[in-house]
Structure 1
Amino acid sequence: MSRWPDDDVILYDGVCVFCSRWVRFVANRDVERRFRFTAIQSAYGTRLAQAFGIDPKDPDTNAVLHGGVAWLKSDAALTVLSLLPRWGWVRVFFAVPKPLRDAVYSLVARNRYRIFGKYDKCFVPDADIRARVME
């Protein structure tokens, strides 16, 4: 777990259809507007990815910066969900051993383009989400 000065920033693959849907899912439920977003393909996102050992050209995880710590893979997804209103119940999945959670996460991540598709260029969010994007 690496430290970073920004907080509650979600790093995602901007050309991944599934990842872009994840951003919309979170943004629509984040009524406090706590989270901000950055695509791994942006200058800021690339710097974050490199700082946390994620290959920006072939990302195998999203990440969330929370509490000054970068959470990866299943920890990232569960951390984000657990901070959304009415989603705190997902904390029970932290009881599942991390290697098992991460194996499932990695299986989906490896096959995300084939299953969900890929954009030709980085996903452009609507105006509401765009105001929360860090580039």
Structure 2
Amino acid sequence: MTEPSLPPGLSAGERVVLFDGVCKLCNGWAKFLIRHDPARQFRLASVQSAQGQALLAWYGLPTDHFDTMALIDEQGLHLRSTALLRILARLPRPWRVLAWLRLVPRSLRDWCYERIALNRYHLFGRHEVCLLPSADHAERFLHD
């Protein structure tokens, strides 16, 4: 039996959060993860970056538009509310407690998630270009 091949640029056991780099809400989420993930369990990649584009293509997701955050972990690709809750479950308290929302049916969770995701630019705004990580956070992002 052969081991499944890993997506491009990832090592075994690595967890990556893909996010929309021009979305102000999504950038806020990335900053939240940097601040509240002291164990550095998650790496980040914007969907507009070369690494993000390669990961989207690897999983057969659109590379020209993206309307959800994604998590890639040891169990594969997770989207929408499932990705969010899997991330929260790995963060320290009090954030970990929010993972109990897994008990809400996924269809309802995803419906709520999609209402925000589809209106995120209108509700929160967007940057003209992807923001670059600061020097002290650069190691948290996937690079070429």
TM over 0.5: yes
Q: How does 1:1-135 map to 2 (within 5 A)?
A: 4-5=6-7, 6=10, 7-86=14-93, 87-135=95-143
Structure 2: runs of 5+ lacking an equivalent: none
- Rg larger in structure: 2
Paired residue secondary structure (2:140)? coil
- Residue 4 of structure 1 and its aligned partner are, at CA, apart by 4.2
TM-score of the aligned structures, taking structure 2 as reference length: 0.86
Secondary structure of the 2:119 match is helix
Q: Compute the displacement of 1:51 (Å).
A: 2.6
Q: Distance in 1 between matches of 2:114 and 2:20?
A: 14
Query: 1:17: how far off?
Result: 0.5
Q: RMSD across aligned C-alpha pairs, in angstroms?
A: 1.5
Work out the percentage of aligned pairs sharing the same amino acid.
37
Counterparts of 1:114 and 1:13, CA distance in 2: 14
- How many pairs were matched up? 133
Gaps of 5+ in 1: none
1:131 aligned counterpart, secondary structure: helix
Task: Return 11-20 or 61-70, whichever deviates more.
Answer: 61-70
Question: What are the superposed Cα offsets for residues 96-119 of structure 1, whole Å, 9 maximum, x if unpaired?
Answer: 000000011111110000111111
